[in-house]
Amino acid sequence: MPIFNPDGYEYSRTTDRMWRKSRSGECTAKQTKCCIGVDLNRNFDVGFGGPDSSSRPCAENYRGPEPFSEPETVAVRNFIQNNPSILAYFALHTYELVTGTAPDWVKSNTNIRFSYTIEMRPLEDDKDGFVLDPSEILPAGEELSLVDSTL
């Protein structure tokens, strides 16, 4: 499964480079403020509601109203549960360690032996956060290629 937030990813490519949540929810004319999306990394039941998440729908790290409230996280859960031959689960993540993510759920709820998050550049203490300096793109790709060829 190459990506489990396709609508959020596409929105980040076309509209808001820093968008990280899903695109679930709707705005109505009656709403004075409309908050769209859930941080899917925080929508799993392991560690749900932890200190790295928010119950406020407008927050970037909004976890959703309950675990597995989003069709994307339900799809990931169901796919993994319905495919017992999966040997390993790896998630690629950039900047900021998070608990309660898909690999945490996989490790706690399945027989998959290897379940890891691979933290890519930039490092968590990098002042630019999620924005990777152009000079770092090639080295990041080379590092990821090395991981891929090793696995």
pLDDT tens digits along 51-93: 889 999 999 999 999 999 999 999 999 999 999 999 999 887 7
* pLDDT range class, residue 142, cuts 50, 70, 90: confident
Residue located via tokens 């994307």: 72
Interatomic CA distance for residues 130 and 73, integer angstroms: 23
Q: Which of the pair, 129 or 57, is modelled with greater confidence?
A: 57
Count CB neighbours of 148 within 10 A. Answer: 10
Amino acid of residue 10: E
CATH number of 6-24+33-150: 3.40.630.10
For the chain, domain boundaries? 6-24+33-150
Task: Give residue 25's pLDDT.
Answer: 84
pTM over 0.95: no
Q: Residue 54 gets which letter from DSSP?
A: B
